[in-house]
A and B are shown apart, each in its own frame.
Chain A
Amino acid sequence: MAIEKIHTENLFLHYSSKMALNNISISIPEKKITAFIGPSGCGKSTFLRSLNRMNDLIDGVKIEGKIFIDHINIYDKNIDVVTLRKKVGMVFQKSNPFAKSIFENVAYGPRINGINDKKHLDEIVETALINAAIWDEVKDRLGDSALALSGGQQQRLCIARTLAVNPEIVLMDEPASALDPLSTSKIEELIVELKEKYTIVIVTHNMQQAARISDLTAFFYLGELIEFDKTKKIFTNPEKKQTEDYITGRFG
């Protein structure tokens, strides 16, 4: 296997009183696409959000265990969460561009990192939009409100916004679940291209999608990690009965 990027050890997570993650240990390799699948409510999003500590924002969340990124425990006391989130970017299920222009959406991340030179910003924005495969559609109207874009375009803009901060890991929580088939396939192509530069972790409830684009697949059920292996293996010859039942649509 390739170099390890993310590694968790005996991770437990509780919301107030309810357990959401139960003893998750997993090792995610660099510059691959890792897909999380499983029925809804099984903890996929929760797990994803603990990788960039977005769960810190929710009152009453308790986390035990360890999460290493590049062999550093991100829940250590001396970790700077703001910098961590620059390193570990996130694309949300529902596209959420700011109420700003297309340009300003992408430039926001670099700006808060202190880049104010107009030329430099122009470059960053263009590169990010090209990498997110949306440049051709918006290059003539960068000053327009991002909220006027279609759903699929908004989601690619959000990806561009995430890429503009130059992260190493991109977490995606069902990024195509609200999109039409055409936009979905565009996003999928984009994700496959992105793995050259980024480690990608994607949550999806769409098993065909996981099968099409991911290198590795993890199956979650009721807060537990049931099985984690090469995508091909999971979809053709899973070890566990529960995985097989889920893959073949016997429950879900």
Chain B
Amino acid sequence: MTKKTKKGKISTQSESGLIDITRKKFRWSDYLAEKVIKGTAFLSITIIVLIFVFVFRESVPIFSTAKAPAQTEIHSDANQQQETYGEVTDQPAAPEVQETYGEVTDSSEHAETTDESYTVSAGSGHDDNQTALKTLLTKDWVPVSEKPRYGILALLVGTFKITFISILFAAPLAILAALYTASFASRRVKEIIKPTIELLAGFPSVVIGFFALMVLATFLQDVFHYDTRLNSFVGGIAMGIAAIPIIFTITEDALTAVPKSFYEASLALGASKWQTAFFVILPAATPGIFAAVLLGIGRVFGETMIALMATGNAAQMGLNPFESVRTLAATIGAEMAEVVFGDTHYNVLFLIGSLLFIFTFVINAIAEFYVKGKLMKRIQGK
């Protein structure tokens, strides 16, 4: 109590020449800046959340059993005339070209079971959404047909296959390039390489897709002599090209962040530059490199344009890299514009969108949180 009164005395005695720290000032500019920044940050988060909510909401009807009959009718009307998906480029008017997706390598047994399940659901009141749910985990993607089937397994397999191929291609190249740039290149070379590769990150993917379609596909077919010109191999390489800049940039940052003292210590022990780069710098940066690869995967996973142009777009399950595949993103990209609004097909496409969103989100979250913690541990030893 006595102390307080003493302080009070001092603060009022500003004539004494002491700086008064007891009177709080309200700083308008600080206050405003803080609120604006905070508001902007929350706005961007909100927008992202809203997008997800919208995408997810549009896919919800599949999971509900009851459905407005009006829409089903519209849908069945719409089906009457055309069953065109897939062969748009080939023979648009041919009546035989029905239900072509996924059946290329198929056994008839499988087709029958799907048919049966379809008939059952059709009997129970034309419920398209139930069909969608029942066929969701099959491999037949035949969304526009008299008996539509919405199996996404082949799309999933295609997406993972192409992601795998592209990362297998892009990661070693990008990591080695980053290692070279970070540990060996002279400053002048570094100043050329780094911006050039980073520039590639802003390269429109339609251009990479075009290049893959026109040049890469022919070239690779000449080299490897496979049958289908556009396939997951070509698509994977093309998407790898798109992923390289991301993996490179983040890896290079991670390598550069390794303390210079590691480098000096290693050289002072009589290690060569190569030994230092491979056995000290690279291991110290593994968490960052892991993050880089994850982000590369995220990039490929959601890539649409290149997938549309270079993969052949046939929903097939096989593991052969030289078969055509169809990815989740490409399916949305190809079909969303032509689908009937509110239709089951429409809902399934949104479900695929939600899957893409969740998957990418999870990957980025792992890259962000897990890796940051690890990296700190590695460099600071906490």
Residues on A lying within 8 angstroms of B by beta carbon are: 52, 54, 57, 59, 82-86, 89-90, 92, 94, 96-100, 108-109, 111-113, 145-149, 158, 161-162, 165
Closest to A144 in B: B381
When A and B form their complex, which 5 residue pairs have the shortest distance between CB atoms, in order from nearest? A147-B381, A86-B270, A96-B261, A90-B268, A85-B270
Residues on B lying within 8 angstroms of A by beta carbon are: 187, 259, 261-262, 264-272, 275, 279-280, 283-284, 377-382
Q: Given A92-B261, A92-B264, A99-B262, 15 more contacts at CB 8 Å?
A: A54-B267, A82-B270, A90-B268, A92-B265, A98-B262, A98-B284, A99-B379, A99-B381, A108-B280, A112-B270, A112-B279, A147-B378, A147-B380, A148-B382, A149-B381
Residues of the A chain whose Cβ atoms lie less than 8 Å from the Cβ of B262: 96, 98-99
The answer to whether A165 and B269 touch (CB under 8 A), given A54-B264, A92-B261, A92-B264, is: yes
A-B contact pairs, 6 of them (CB 8 A): A90-B268, A96-B265, A108-B271, A111-B279, A148-B382, A165-B270
Expressed in whole angstroms, the Cα–Cα distance for A84 and B269 within the complex equals 10
Minimum CB–CB distance for A113 against chain B, Å: 7
Minimum CB–CB distance for B275 against chain A, Å: 5
Expressed in whole angstroms, the Cα–Cα distance for A99 and B380 within the complex equals 8
Expressed in whole angstroms, the Cα–Cα distance for A196 and B43 within the complex equals 69
Structural contact, A94 and B261, CB atoms closer than 8 A: yes
Minimum CB–CB distance for B280 against chain A, Å: 6
Closest to A113 in B: B270
Expressed in whole angstroms, the Cα–Cα distance for A52 and B379 within the complex equals 26
Minimum CB–CB distance for A169 against chain B, Å: 12
The answer to whether A85 and B268 touch (CB under 8 A), given A96-B262, A99-B283, A112-B275, is: yes
Residues of the B chain whose Cβ atoms lie less than 8 Å from the Cβ of A108: 266, 269, 271, 279-280
Minimum CB–CB distance for B50 against chain A, Å: 42
Minimum CB–CB distance for A166 against chain B, Å: 10
Expressed in whole angstroms, the Cα–Cα distance for A225 and B279 within the complex equals 39
Structural contact, A158 and B283, CB atoms closer than 8 A: no
The answer to whether A82 and B259 touch (CB under 8 A), given A99-B378, A147-B381, A148-B381, is: no
Closest to A146 in B: B381
Residues of the A chain whose Cβ atoms lie less than 8 Å from the Cβ of B280: 98, 108
Residues of the B chain whose Cβ atoms lie less than 8 Å from the Cβ of A94: 261
* Residue from the list A52, A59, A82, A149 in contact with B271, Cβ < 8 A: A82
Structural contact, A96 and B270, CB atoms closer than 8 A: no
Closest to B287 in A: A99
Expressed in whole angstroms, the Cα–Cα distance for A108 and B281 within the complex equals 13
Expressed in whole angstroms, the Cα–Cα distance for A96 and B267 within the complex equals 12
Expressed in whole angstroms, the Cα–Cα distance for A93 and B265 within the complex equals 11
Residues of the A chain whose Cβ atoms lie less than 8 Å from the Cβ of B379: 99, 147
Residues of the A chain whose Cβ atoms lie less than 8 Å from the Cβ of B378: 99, 147
Structural contact, B264 and A83, CB atoms closer than 8 A: no
Expressed in whole angstroms, the Cα–Cα distance for A190 and B283 within the complex equals 31
Structural contact, A98 and B265, CB atoms closer than 8 A: yes
Structural contact, A100 and B283, CB atoms closer than 8 A: yes
Residues of the B chain whose Cβ atoms lie less than 8 Å from the Cβ of A109: 269-271
Residues of the B chain whose Cβ atoms lie less than 8 Å from the Cβ of A147: 378-382
Residues of the B chain whose Cβ atoms lie less than 8 Å from the Cβ of A111: 279
Minimum CB–CB distance for B65 against chain A, Å: 55
Minimum CB–CB distance for A158 against chain B, Å: 7
Residues of the B chain whose Cβ atoms lie less than 8 Å from the Cβ of A52: 268
Structural contact, A85 and B269, CB atoms closer than 8 A: yes
Closest to A109 in B: B269
Structural contact, B265 and A82, CB atoms closer than 8 A: no
Residues of the B chain whose Cβ atoms lie less than 8 Å from the Cβ of A148: 381-382
Minimum CB–CB distance for A132 against chain B, Å: 14
Minimum CB–CB distance for A48 against chain B, Å: 11
Structural contact, A83 and B270, CB atoms closer than 8 A: yes
Residues of the A chain whose Cβ atoms lie less than 8 Å from the Cβ of B272: 82, 112
Kindly name the residue among B262, B283, B381 whose own CB sees the greatest number of chain A CB atoms within 10 A. Answer: B381
Residues of the A chain whose Cβ atoms lie less than 8 Å from the Cβ of B261: 92, 94, 96
Expressed in whole angstroms, the Cα–Cα distance for A149 and B267 within the complex equals 23
Minimum CB–CB distance for A238 against chain B, Å: 33
Structural contact, B267 and A57, CB atoms closer than 8 A: yes
Expressed in whole angstroms, the Cα–Cα distance for A89 and B265 within the complex equals 10
Expressed in whole angstroms, the Cα–Cα distance for A213 and B153 within the complex equals 74
Expressed in whole angstroms, the Cα–Cα distance for A47 and B313 within the complex equals 67
Expressed in whole angstroms, the Cα–Cα distance for A52 and B268 within the complex equals 8
Expressed in whole angstroms, the Cα–Cα distance for A149 and B261 within the complex equals 17
Expressed in whole angstroms, the Cα–Cα distance for A220 and B222 within the complex equals 71
Expressed in whole angstroms, the Cα–Cα distance for A89 and B279 within the complex equals 19
Minimum CB–CB distance for A189 against chain B, Å: 23
Expressed in whole angstroms, the Cα–Cα distance for A100 and B247 within the complex equals 24
Kindly name the residue among A54, A109, A162 whose own CB sees the greatest number of chain B CB atoms within 10 A. Answer: A109
Minimum CB–CB distance for B273 against chain A, Å: 9
